[in-house]
Amino acid sequence: MAQGKVAAIRSDLDIVIARTMARDTAKALGFGAIDQARIATAVSELARNIYLYAGTGSVSVREIERSGRKGIEIICEDQGPGISSIDLVMQDGYSTSRGMGMGLPGAKRLMDEFEIRSIEGQGTTITSRKWRT
């Protein structure tokens, strides 16, 4: 598990693969059923965004440890159009695709740490973490 796992996102089926990979990894790391579901849901939303807005990208999951605490880190990367205003996309209900606009703010609430780095025209990297209780 120290190595982690990566799922390429190229089709809508890859969203399910990424979701399953994240849930299985969370389970292997000792997360309970509710946290497994939270992590799987967050990954599903982030992978869907890659597919919808960037076309292709990747989702990586790995085990992390900080001050003796273990957790899971999920990195979602794409080289799509980027996000011009992170404040705007983090508002509940904001969508450029007539979606629900809950994917990013929802994923943030489901995880313990959530950071977006994005450069317009270059792409987006979202790093999120959840710690085992």
Would you tell me which residues interact with Mg ion (CB under 5 A)? 49, 103
Judged by beta carbon distances under 5 to 8 A according to partner kind, the member of ligand ADP, Mg ion, none in contact with residue 71 is none
Q: Which segment (11-19, 21-29, 47-55, 66-74) binds ligand ADP by CB under 6 A?
A: 47-55
Name which of 49 and 118 has its Cβ closer to Mg ion.
Answer: 49
Listing DSSP states for the chain in one string gives -TT-EEEEESSHHHHHHHHHHHHHHHHHTT--HHHHHHHHHHHHHHHHHIIIIIS-EEEEEEEEEETTEEEEEEEEEE-SS--S-HHHHTSTT--SSSS-S-HHHHHHHHSSEEEEEEETTTEEEEEEEEE--
Q: Is 7 in the site for ligand ADP (CB under 6 A)?
A: no
Name which of 71 and 80 has its Cβ closer to ligand ADP.
Answer: 80
